[in-house]
Amino acid sequence: MPAVARMAAAPRPAAVTGAAEFPAGPASETLAPLMPAVAGAGLPAMKPSFIVSYLDQYVIGQEDAKRILAVAVYAHFRKIARAEADHTRVLKSNVLLIGSSGTGKTLMCETLSHVLDVPFVTAEATSLAHTRYVNEEIEAVLQRLVDRADGDLPKAQRGIVFIDEIDKLKAPEGEGRGSSGESVQHALLKIMEGSQVKLHTGRYIDTTSILFVCGGAFVGLDEIIRSQTHGYGFIATSKGDNQRILDRLNTRVKPTDLFTYGLIPEFTGRLPIIARFHDLTREMLVRIMTDTKNSLYGQFRDIFRDEGVELVVEPRVFEQIAELAIEYKTGARSLRGIFEELMTPVLYQIPDSPDIRRVVVSSLFTDPAYHRAPTPAGAPVAS
Protein backbone atom coordinates (compact mmCIF):
# COMPACT_ATOMS: atom_id res chain seq x y z
CA MET A 1 0.00 0.00 0.00
CA PRO A 2 1.22 3.49 -0.74
CA ALA A 3 2.84 5.60 1.91
CA VAL A 4 1.02 8.54 3.37
CA ALA A 5 4.00 10.84 2.83
CA ARG A 6 3.66 13.05 -0.23
CA MET A 7 6.25 13.41 -2.94
CA ALA A 8 9.15 15.71 -2.29
CA ALA A 9 8.50 17.81 -5.39
CA ALA A 10 6.41 20.97 -5.32
CA PRO A 11 2.95 20.47 -3.76
CA ARG A 12 1.06 18.15 -6.04
CA PRO A 13 -2.57 19.14 -6.29
CA ALA A 14 -5.15 16.58 -5.45
CA ALA A 15 -7.64 14.74 -7.62
CA VAL A 16 -10.60 12.70 -6.53
CA THR A 17 -12.30 12.54 -9.89
CA GLY A 18 -12.91 9.37 -11.85
CA ALA A 19 -11.40 6.01 -11.01
CA ALA A 20 -8.42 6.19 -8.75
CA GLU A 21 -5.13 4.60 -9.74
CA PHE A 22 -3.80 2.58 -6.85
CA PRO A 23 -0.17 1.51 -6.71
CA ALA A 24 0.30 -2.09 -5.71
CA GLY A 25 2.61 -3.23 -2.97
CA PRO A 26 2.82 -3.95 0.75
CA ALA A 27 1.49 -1.60 3.39
CA SER A 28 3.76 1.34 4.01
CA GLU A 29 5.76 1.68 7.19
CA THR A 30 3.73 4.80 7.94
CA LEU A 31 0.42 2.95 8.00
CA ALA A 32 1.61 -0.52 9.06
CA PRO A 33 1.41 0.16 12.84
CA LEU A 34 -2.34 0.72 12.42
CA MET A 35 -2.88 -2.80 11.05
CA PRO A 36 -3.61 -5.56 13.58
CA ALA A 37 -3.13 -9.23 12.88
CA VAL A 38 -5.55 -10.85 10.46
CA ALA A 39 -8.70 -11.98 12.25
CA GLY A 40 -9.48 -14.98 10.12
CA ALA A 41 -8.43 -16.90 7.06
CA GLY A 42 -8.91 -14.77 3.98
CA LEU A 43 -10.37 -11.87 5.96
CA PRO A 44 -8.84 -8.39 6.08
CA ALA A 45 -8.30 -7.12 9.62
CA MET A 46 -7.56 -3.42 9.80
CA LYS A 47 -8.34 -0.84 12.41
CA PRO A 48 -10.87 1.82 11.41
CA SER A 49 -8.13 4.43 11.91
CA PHE A 50 -5.96 2.65 9.32
CA ILE A 51 -8.81 2.58 6.81
CA VAL A 52 -9.52 6.29 7.32
CA SER A 53 -5.81 7.13 6.95
CA TYR A 54 -5.75 5.29 3.65
CA LEU A 55 -8.93 6.93 2.40
CA ASP A 56 -7.49 10.34 3.29
CA GLN A 57 -4.84 9.85 0.60
CA TYR A 58 -7.42 9.63 -2.18
CA VAL A 59 -10.65 11.23 -0.95
CA ILE A 60 -10.87 14.89 0.10
CA GLY A 61 -13.26 15.81 2.91
CA GLN A 62 -16.26 13.70 3.95
CA GLU A 63 -14.64 12.96 7.31
CA ASP A 64 -17.81 11.70 9.00
CA ALA A 65 -18.62 9.41 6.06
CA LYS A 66 -15.08 7.99 6.11
CA ARG A 67 -15.35 7.08 9.79
CA ILE A 68 -18.83 5.60 9.43
CA LEU A 69 -17.79 3.47 6.46
CA ALA A 70 -14.51 2.42 8.10
CA VAL A 71 -16.27 1.25 11.25
CA ALA A 72 -18.97 -0.49 9.19
CA VAL A 73 -16.36 -2.45 7.24
CA TYR A 74 -14.36 -3.25 10.37
CA ALA A 75 -17.48 -4.58 12.11
CA HIS A 76 -18.58 -6.44 8.96
CA PHE A 77 -15.43 -8.55 8.72
CA ARG A 78 -15.36 -9.08 12.48
CA LYS A 79 -18.90 -10.47 12.25
CA ILE A 80 -17.84 -12.82 9.45
CA ALA A 81 -14.88 -14.08 11.47
CA ARG A 82 -17.05 -14.61 14.54
CA ALA A 83 -19.79 -16.38 12.55
CA GLU A 84 -17.25 -18.72 10.97
CA ALA A 85 -15.71 -19.50 14.36
CA ASP A 86 -19.10 -20.13 15.98
CA HIS A 87 -20.70 -21.73 12.91
CA THR A 88 -23.53 -19.21 13.01
CA ARG A 89 -25.16 -17.00 10.39
CA VAL A 90 -23.72 -13.56 9.62
CA LEU A 91 -26.06 -10.75 10.66
CA LYS A 92 -24.62 -8.04 8.47
CA SER A 93 -25.36 -4.34 8.22
CA ASN A 94 -25.32 -2.97 4.69
CA VAL A 95 -24.65 0.72 4.10
CA LEU A 96 -26.52 3.61 2.49
CA LEU A 97 -24.53 6.62 1.22
CA ILE A 98 -26.50 9.81 0.66
CA GLY A 99 -24.99 12.71 -1.27
CA SER A 100 -25.06 14.69 -4.49
CA SER A 101 -23.42 13.43 -7.67
CA GLY A 102 -19.66 13.95 -7.68
CA THR A 103 -19.17 14.05 -3.90
CA GLY A 104 -17.02 10.89 -3.81
CA LYS A 105 -19.40 8.02 -2.98
CA THR A 106 -18.20 5.63 -5.68
CA LEU A 107 -14.56 6.64 -5.27
CA MET A 108 -14.65 6.01 -1.54
CA CYS A 109 -16.07 2.51 -2.03
CA GLU A 110 -13.55 1.73 -4.77
CA THR A 111 -10.67 2.96 -2.61
CA LEU A 112 -12.03 0.94 0.29
CA SER A 113 -12.09 -2.25 -1.77
CA HIS A 114 -8.45 -1.68 -2.73
CA VAL A 115 -7.18 -1.26 0.81
CA LEU A 116 -9.16 -4.36 1.85
CA ASP A 117 -7.98 -6.28 -1.24
CA VAL A 118 -11.49 -7.49 -2.02
CA PRO A 119 -13.27 -7.49 -5.42
CA PHE A 120 -15.53 -4.54 -6.12
CA VAL A 121 -18.24 -3.92 -8.72
CA THR A 122 -20.74 -1.15 -9.34
CA ALA A 123 -24.25 -1.24 -10.72
CA GLU A 124 -26.91 1.37 -11.39
CA ALA A 125 -30.32 0.90 -9.89
CA THR A 126 -31.91 2.69 -12.84
CA SER A 127 -30.51 0.08 -15.23
CA LEU A 128 -32.04 -2.66 -13.11
CA ALA A 129 -35.39 -0.86 -13.14
CA HIS A 130 -35.41 -0.56 -16.94
CA THR A 131 -35.08 -4.25 -17.67
CA ARG A 132 -37.78 -6.90 -17.76
CA TYR A 133 -35.40 -9.47 -16.33
CA VAL A 134 -34.28 -7.98 -13.02
CA ASN A 135 -33.06 -11.25 -11.54
CA GLU A 136 -30.87 -11.95 -14.56
CA GLU A 137 -29.34 -8.49 -14.31
CA ILE A 138 -28.61 -9.04 -10.62
CA GLU A 139 -26.99 -12.39 -11.44
CA ALA A 140 -24.86 -10.60 -14.04
CA VAL A 141 -23.65 -8.14 -11.38
CA LEU A 142 -22.65 -11.01 -9.11
CA GLN A 143 -20.93 -12.75 -12.04
CA ARG A 144 -18.85 -9.62 -12.57
CA LEU A 145 -17.87 -9.79 -8.92
CA VAL A 146 -16.61 -13.34 -9.45
CA ASP A 147 -14.75 -12.21 -12.57
CA ARG A 148 -13.08 -9.41 -10.57
CA ALA A 149 -11.92 -12.10 -8.15
CA ASP A 150 -10.39 -14.01 -11.09
CA GLY A 151 -12.91 -16.79 -10.60
CA ASP A 152 -12.05 -17.21 -6.92
CA LEU A 153 -15.54 -17.81 -5.52
CA PRO A 154 -14.64 -17.61 -1.79
CA LYS A 155 -12.93 -14.26 -2.42
CA ALA A 156 -15.90 -12.97 -4.43
CA GLN A 157 -18.19 -13.92 -1.55
CA ARG A 158 -16.33 -11.37 0.60
CA GLY A 159 -16.45 -8.58 -1.96
CA ILE A 160 -18.28 -5.25 -2.12
CA VAL A 161 -21.18 -4.39 -4.43
CA PHE A 162 -22.00 -0.70 -4.86
CA ILE A 163 -25.46 0.07 -6.25
CA ASP A 164 -25.78 3.72 -7.25
CA GLU A 165 -28.88 5.85 -7.89
CA ILE A 166 -30.87 3.79 -5.44
CA ASP A 167 -33.07 6.83 -4.81
CA LYS A 168 -34.41 6.51 -8.36
CA LEU A 169 -36.23 3.34 -7.29
CA LYS A 170 -38.89 5.28 -5.43
CA ALA A 171 -42.38 5.17 -6.88
CA PRO A 172 -43.08 8.24 -9.08
CA GLU A 173 -45.59 10.67 -7.65
CA GLY A 174 -49.13 9.63 -8.39
CA GLU A 175 -48.11 6.12 -9.42
CA GLY A 176 -48.29 4.52 -6.00
CA ARG A 177 -46.85 1.16 -5.05
CA GLY A 178 -46.13 -1.62 -7.49
CA SER A 179 -43.84 0.38 -9.76
CA SER A 180 -40.78 -1.13 -11.48
CA GLY A 181 -38.60 0.59 -8.87
CA GLU A 182 -40.37 -1.20 -6.07
CA SER A 183 -39.99 -4.50 -7.93
CA VAL A 184 -36.22 -3.97 -8.03
CA GLN A 185 -36.19 -3.22 -4.31
CA HIS A 186 -37.94 -6.53 -3.65
CA ALA A 187 -35.51 -8.34 -5.95
CA LEU A 188 -32.54 -6.89 -4.07
CA LEU A 189 -33.88 -7.80 -0.63
CA LYS A 190 -32.93 -11.46 -0.71
CA ILE A 191 -29.36 -11.05 -2.00
CA MET A 192 -28.67 -8.13 0.35
CA GLU A 193 -29.64 -10.22 3.35
CA GLY A 194 -27.91 -13.34 2.04
CA SER A 195 -28.88 -16.11 -0.32
CA GLN A 196 -27.54 -18.66 -2.79
CA VAL A 197 -27.65 -17.29 -6.32
CA LYS A 198 -27.08 -19.47 -9.37
CA LEU A 199 -24.80 -17.87 -11.96
CA HIS A 200 -24.94 -18.48 -15.71
CA THR A 201 -21.88 -20.73 -15.34
CA GLY A 202 -23.87 -23.08 -13.13
CA ARG A 203 -21.93 -22.15 -9.99
CA TYR A 204 -23.66 -20.79 -6.92
CA ILE A 205 -22.52 -17.69 -5.05
CA ASP A 206 -23.48 -17.10 -1.43
CA THR A 207 -24.19 -13.39 -0.85
CA THR A 208 -24.31 -13.68 2.95
CA SER A 209 -20.86 -12.14 3.47
CA ILE A 210 -20.95 -9.69 0.54
CA LEU A 211 -21.18 -6.10 1.72
CA PHE A 212 -23.79 -4.12 -0.21
CA VAL A 213 -23.39 -0.37 -0.32
CA CYS A 214 -26.17 1.68 -1.89
CA GLY A 215 -25.86 5.29 -2.90
CA GLY A 216 -28.04 8.11 -4.14
CA ALA A 217 -28.52 11.88 -4.22
CA PHE A 218 -32.00 11.73 -2.58
CA VAL A 219 -33.01 15.17 -3.81
CA GLY A 220 -35.72 16.56 -1.54
CA LEU A 221 -34.85 14.37 1.46
CA ASP A 222 -33.71 17.33 3.56
CA GLU A 223 -37.13 18.92 3.18
CA ILE A 224 -38.72 15.70 4.40
CA ILE A 225 -36.39 15.59 7.40
CA ARG A 226 -37.20 19.20 8.33
CA SER A 227 -40.92 18.56 8.02
CA GLN A 228 -40.87 15.54 10.30
CA THR A 229 -41.00 15.76 14.09
CA HIS A 230 -37.56 14.58 15.14
CA GLY A 231 -37.56 15.58 18.79
CA TYR A 232 -36.85 12.94 21.37
CA GLY A 233 -39.64 14.09 23.65
CA PHE A 234 -40.18 10.62 25.05
CA ILE A 235 -36.61 10.52 26.39
CA ALA A 236 -35.91 12.33 29.65
CA THR A 237 -32.98 14.72 29.16
CA SER A 238 -30.99 16.70 31.65
CA LYS A 239 -28.44 19.52 31.67
CA GLY A 240 -25.70 16.93 31.74
CA ASP A 241 -26.66 15.54 28.32
CA ASN A 242 -24.36 16.40 25.44
CA GLN A 243 -26.30 18.82 23.25
CA ARG A 244 -24.05 18.09 20.26
CA ILE A 245 -25.04 14.41 20.42
CA LEU A 246 -28.73 15.30 20.76
CA ASP A 247 -28.48 17.63 17.76
CA ARG A 248 -26.81 14.88 15.72
CA LEU A 249 -29.58 12.43 16.63
CA ASN A 250 -32.23 14.98 15.63
CA THR A 251 -30.65 15.63 12.22
CA ARG A 252 -29.81 12.05 11.26
CA VAL A 253 -31.71 10.31 8.46
CA LYS A 254 -34.29 7.99 9.95
CA PRO A 255 -36.09 5.03 8.36
CA THR A 256 -39.35 7.01 8.44
CA ASP A 257 -37.73 9.71 6.29
CA LEU A 258 -36.79 7.11 3.69
CA PHE A 259 -40.32 5.61 3.81
CA THR A 260 -41.76 9.06 3.15
CA TYR A 261 -39.29 9.54 0.32
CA GLY A 262 -40.62 6.45 -1.42
CA LEU A 263 -38.49 3.44 -0.49
CA ILE A 264 -40.22 0.40 0.94
CA PRO A 265 -39.71 -0.39 4.67
CA GLU A 266 -38.28 -3.86 3.99
CA PHE A 267 -35.57 -2.39 1.76
CA THR A 268 -34.50 0.41 4.08
CA GLY A 269 -34.36 -2.15 6.88
CA ARG A 270 -31.49 -3.85 5.01
CA LEU A 271 -29.54 -0.56 5.09
CA PRO A 272 -29.22 0.28 8.80
CA ILE A 273 -25.98 2.26 8.43
CA ILE A 274 -26.36 5.66 6.77
CA ALA A 275 -23.58 8.11 5.88
CA ARG A 276 -24.13 11.60 4.50
CA PHE A 277 -21.81 13.09 1.87
CA HIS A 278 -21.70 16.89 1.84
CA ASP A 279 -21.44 19.01 -1.28
CA LEU A 280 -17.85 19.91 -2.11
CA THR A 281 -16.73 23.48 -1.48
CA ARG A 282 -14.44 25.43 -3.81
CA GLU A 283 -11.51 24.82 -1.47
CA MET A 284 -12.18 21.07 -1.46
CA LEU A 285 -12.41 20.96 -5.26
CA VAL A 286 -9.04 22.74 -5.48
CA ARG A 287 -7.50 20.21 -3.09
CA ILE A 288 -8.95 17.39 -5.18
CA MET A 289 -6.91 18.62 -8.12
CA THR A 290 -3.75 19.23 -6.14
CA ASP A 291 -3.42 17.19 -2.93
CA THR A 292 -4.37 13.56 -3.47
CA LYS A 293 -1.97 10.80 -4.40
CA ASN A 294 -3.44 10.46 -7.87
CA SER A 295 -4.00 14.18 -8.42
CA LEU A 296 -4.63 15.57 -11.87
CA TYR A 297 -1.88 18.15 -11.44
CA GLY A 298 0.57 15.51 -10.29
CA GLN A 299 -0.22 13.24 -13.23
CA PHE A 300 0.35 16.02 -15.78
CA ARG A 301 3.51 17.25 -14.05
CA ASP A 302 4.89 13.74 -14.52
CA ILE A 303 3.88 13.70 -18.20
CA PHE A 304 5.55 17.06 -18.79
CA ARG A 305 8.63 16.01 -16.81
CA ASP A 306 9.04 12.99 -19.09
CA GLU A 307 9.20 15.49 -21.98
CA GLY A 308 11.85 17.52 -20.16
CA VAL A 309 9.39 20.33 -19.42
CA GLU A 310 8.38 21.86 -16.10
CA LEU A 311 4.65 22.50 -15.75
CA VAL A 312 3.50 25.29 -13.46
CA VAL A 313 -0.21 25.91 -12.95
CA GLU A 314 -0.83 28.87 -10.69
CA PRO A 315 -3.35 28.60 -7.81
CA ARG A 316 -5.84 30.94 -9.46
CA VAL A 317 -6.33 28.45 -12.29
CA PHE A 318 -7.50 25.74 -9.91
CA GLU A 319 -9.88 28.18 -8.27
CA GLN A 320 -11.36 29.06 -11.68
CA ILE A 321 -11.81 25.38 -12.54
CA ALA A 322 -13.47 24.77 -9.17
CA GLU A 323 -15.85 27.66 -9.76
CA LEU A 324 -16.85 26.20 -13.12
CA ALA A 325 -17.43 22.78 -11.54
CA ILE A 326 -19.71 24.36 -8.94
CA GLU A 327 -21.61 26.15 -11.71
CA TYR A 328 -22.02 22.85 -13.58
CA LYS A 329 -23.40 21.24 -10.39
CA THR A 330 -21.52 18.01 -11.04
CA GLY A 331 -19.16 18.08 -8.08
CA ALA A 332 -15.73 16.62 -8.76
CA ARG A 333 -16.86 14.77 -11.89
CA SER A 334 -16.23 17.74 -14.21
CA LEU A 335 -12.75 18.61 -12.91
CA ARG A 336 -10.90 16.14 -15.11
CA GLY A 337 -12.64 17.25 -18.29
CA ILE A 338 -11.93 20.95 -17.69
CA PHE A 339 -8.29 20.34 -16.73
CA GLU A 340 -7.61 18.04 -19.67
CA GLU A 341 -9.16 20.55 -22.06
CA LEU A 342 -6.75 23.15 -20.65
CA MET A 343 -3.77 20.83 -21.20
CA THR A 344 -4.71 19.58 -24.69
CA PRO A 345 -3.23 22.45 -26.79
CA VAL A 346 -0.11 22.50 -24.64
CA LEU A 347 0.54 18.78 -24.99
CA TYR A 348 -0.11 19.05 -28.71
CA GLN A 349 2.71 21.56 -29.10
CA ILE A 350 5.36 20.26 -26.72
CA PRO A 351 6.42 17.07 -28.60
CA ASP A 352 7.16 19.21 -31.69
CA SER A 353 9.01 21.92 -29.73
CA PRO A 354 12.03 20.37 -27.98
CA ASP A 355 13.30 23.83 -27.00
CA ILE A 356 10.39 24.41 -24.58
CA ARG A 357 11.66 24.05 -21.03
CA ARG A 358 8.84 25.50 -18.92
CA VAL A 359 5.12 26.11 -19.30
CA VAL A 360 3.28 28.48 -16.97
CA VAL A 361 -0.53 28.60 -16.88
CA SER A 362 -1.68 31.70 -14.99
CA SER A 363 -5.37 31.81 -15.96
CA LEU A 364 -7.99 29.57 -17.46
CA PHE A 365 -8.83 32.40 -19.85
CA THR A 366 -5.38 33.31 -21.19
CA ASP A 367 -2.84 31.41 -23.28
CA PRO A 368 -0.06 29.58 -21.41
CA ALA A 369 3.40 31.15 -21.33
CA TYR A 370 6.13 29.06 -22.99
CA HIS A 371 9.71 29.49 -21.77
CA ARG A 372 12.25 28.18 -24.25
CA ALA A 373 15.90 27.26 -23.96
CA PRO A 374 18.30 30.09 -25.01
CA THR A 375 19.41 29.86 -28.65
CA PRO A 376 23.16 29.02 -28.77
CA ALA A 377 25.38 31.81 -30.12
CA GLY A 378 25.85 31.50 -33.88
CA ALA A 379 22.93 29.11 -34.28
CA PRO A 380 20.46 29.95 -37.06
CA VAL A 381 17.31 31.63 -35.84
CA ALA A 382 14.06 30.08 -37.01
CA SER A 383 12.03 32.41 -39.16
* Environment class of 9 (CB within 10 Å of its CB; exposed 0-12, middle 13-18, buried 19+): exposed
Q: Comparing C-alpha atoms, which of 182, 187, 207 is closest to residue 195?
A: 207
Where are the chain's structural domains?
A: 91-276, 282-372
CB 171 within 8 A of CB 181: yes
CATH number of 282-372: 1.10.8.60
Q: What is the pTM of this model?
A: 0.79
The CATH number of domain 91-276 is 3.40.50.300:
yes
Query: How would you write the pLDDT of the chain (383 residues) with one tens digit per residue?
Result: 333 333 233 333 333 333 344 444 434 434 444 444 334 445 556 899 999 999 999 999 999 999 999 999 999 999 998 888 888 888 889 999 999 999 999 999 999 999 999 999 999 998 887 777 788 889 999 999 999 999 999 999 999 999 999 999 986 665 554 457 888 898 899 899 899 999 989 999 999 999 999 999 999 998 888 887 555 554 555 555 666 666 666 667 888 899 999 999 999 999 999 999 999 999 999 999 999 998 999 999 999 999 999 999 999 999 999 999 999 988 898 999 999 999 999 999 999 999 999 999 999 999 999 999 887 666 565 54
Residue 14 CB burial class (10 angstroms; 0-12, 13-18, ≥19): buried
Q: Which of 349, 354, 188, 323 is nearest to 266 (CA)?
A: 188
